[in-house]
Structure 1
Amino acid sequence: MSTPGQASKARSRTTVIVAAAAVLAAALVVLLIATQASPGAVRSDAQNGPSQSASSSAAPSAASSAATPPPAPPGTAAPAVAVPAPVAASVTKNAAAYVGTTATALATVNPPDKAQLSALATGSAYDSLMAKASEFKANGWHLAGKPKVVSTKVVRYEPGAEPPTVTLNVCVDSSAVSVLTSAGATVQKGSARDRSLNVMTLVQSATRTWLVSQVTFPDNPDC
């Protein structure tokens, strides 16, 4: 039979064993929770990783796009070729001479001097002038007064064309020019409205002379 002292010692050992078991159980629970939580944390990082990577890779792409200038719109005109001063002076002089020679040729019922005209005009400009001279002769008409070149401007220069070509805007004032019959009757009288923009195309001949090859008029010929 155990003594009271022995019983007390037995209860103390039992208490210690129970407490140790409780501590061990608690430690196992904590370890289990930590183990279960760890894979979840890893999966969460793995899921977030690609998203963060995509975001970081998208940022440089956007920055690169912002830094890259937009492409030039299609159909953008090429820079104009500078016109050498001697060319500009020559075409301006010959265009004005063409205007004056045309008026002189139509100021008489006699046929125009073809050699003189061919030194200034070619192509459709020459043909048009000859046709106008024939019309005037058939009707007995002639011009009275002289047209005036108000201004000229080179708007296009194509030195590489065959032949080299220049387009010139020529403002011509014909307000002082009238069309008369051989008897002096007025067929058409010049007015302040007879001022128009002539678009002249000049080509360079084999002798390097600039000849008027075509004369047209814009939709709005006012100048």
Structure 2
Amino acid sequence: MIELSADQLPALHRWFAAGPPAATALAEHALVSGVGRWWADRAVDPRAIAVACADHLPLPWERMAYVHRVPVSPPRPPLGVTVRRLTPEDAPALAALGPDTAWIHASWGGPAGLAGSGHGWAAFAHGRVLAPACTYFRGSGFEDVACVTAPEYRRRRLAPACVTALCKDIAARGHTPSWTCSRDDRPSRLLAWTAGFRLEHEYVHHFTGRPARRVAGIIG
């Protein structure tokens, strides 16, 4: 495979148009945001295309793809916690979450990219980000959702509150929220179901790039 330059990318979205929601959203997000890398088997009339955005690994991965189907009421945040949209001024607070949760803003190129994107929500207390949720990959029809909670604030229903607010925001844009996780990631599957997502299909995803690590902390 050869890596493609930016001027070769505009026509590539059609390759993923018939794929699952998350794969389509990933490709479109990488194309529009410029965060990601593209490869093809040849530069002219390629027969195979690959795209990477954020951290991935070169192994088959059994995945479950969900689509938001059921409207749910957001849980009430604990006393002193506010759930709101991220703004550019929140970039330092996002960065302060630390390296173990840096994956949450990787698809936007870093904390500043996510904070200024208009596609993130978070639970705040005393100026600190406790649980950010965001559109991880934004496509023309689907927006794939991700969420993480700071370890000491888990199991307080912060993640469902943030994801629910984000899903309403996505729907207001005329898009459909989607959710993708590993088949053996029970906490992620439970959060998806609680937030109104329902299983669309299962598939095997092949990744390229840096090894991924299991990240705990998506339960609110």
Report TM bin, short chain. under 0.3
Flag the structure with larger Rg. 1
Bigger helix fraction? 1
Bigger strand fraction? 2
After TM superposition, the score normalised by the length of structure 1 is: 0.23
After TM superposition, the score normalised by the length of structure 2 is: 0.23
